A = this chain, B = another copy of it.
Amino acid sequence: MLSKKTKYGLKALTFIARTQGDEPVRVSEIAKSESIPPKFLEGILLTLRKAGILGSKKGKHGGYYLRQSPALTKMTDVMRVLEGPIAMVPCVSLNFYEKCDDCPDEHKCSVHKLMIEVRDSTLKVFRNTTLADLSEE
């Protein structure tokens, strides 16, 4: 299941991409328009900023803005920040690899084989999708 965090994060990014002008976009504005609990959203945008996907401006007239153009913001990056590993098991994760403790030999594991295929097919989607694609109306 996709977490609310990720769902809200994607919606927020889409909103920012769509309404982006000279001024940064306020959390409260996004929250209201997308029906997201404001304080929860605050934390999500913070993570996106720390990950370098969003930039922010503090104080009055502050808010969030994209660091790169939507066409350059890949879903692989966004998803890894919000949802964590793309792979369904750590032993097939490219960026978060971990050995299973219950598997003597990874390459003989039936689950491993299947999950590599799932990972690759999901990865293909995320690699070929950018925030610009999401933001088309």
Chain A residues with a Cβ under 8 A of chain B: 1-2, 7, 10-11, 14, 34-36, 75, 85, 88-89, 102, 108-111, 113-115, 117-118, 121-122, 124-126, 129, 133-135, 137
Contact = CB atoms under 8 A, between A and B. Distances in A.
Q: Is the contact region of chain A dominated by helix, strand, or loop, or is it mixed? A: helix
A118 B122 CA distance: 6
A10 B111 CA distance: 7
Nearest to A92: B2
Contacts of A102: 34-36
For the complex formed by this chain, how many copies does it contain in all? Answer: 2
Contacts of A14: 110-111
Contacts of A133: 113-114
Contact of A124 (B85, B114, B121): B121
Given A88-B2, A102-B35, A137 B122 contact: no
A38 to B, nearest CB: 14
Contacts of A129: 114, 117
Contact of A113 (B85, B114, B122, B134): B134
